[in-house]
């Protein structure tokens, strides 16, 4: 299993978690603004949402 969540932008799970904690991000849109994740094909959006759910 790859640690990379967003293949379009090359964003890893760890980067998303760190950005969420640093910026108190609550939505997929906010993660996209902060990291670029989810702003390409959109195929990783469910995975980003799952990470958000896990850390809340």
Min CB(15)–ligand FES separation in Å: 12
Token duo for residue 52: 């958000």
Q: Taking the complex as a whole, how short is the minimal distance between the CB of residue 41 and ligand FES, in angstroms?
A: 3
Tell me which residues in 21-50 interact with ligand FES (CB under 6 A). 37-44
Residue 26 · residue 52 · CB < 8 Å: yes
Q: Quote the least distance from Cβ 42 to ligand FES, whole Å.
A: 5
| Integer Cα distance of 1 and 30 in angstroms | 25
| Residues engaged in binding ligand FES (CB under 6 A) | 6-9, 37-44
């Amino acid at each position: 299993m790859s640690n990379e969540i967003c293949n379009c932008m090359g964003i890893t799970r760890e980067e998303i978690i760190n950005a969420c904690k640093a910026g108190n991000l609550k939505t997929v849109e906010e993660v996209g603004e902060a990291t670029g994740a989810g702003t390409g094909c959109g195929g990783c959006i469910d995975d980003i949402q799952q990470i958000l759910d896990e850390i809340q």
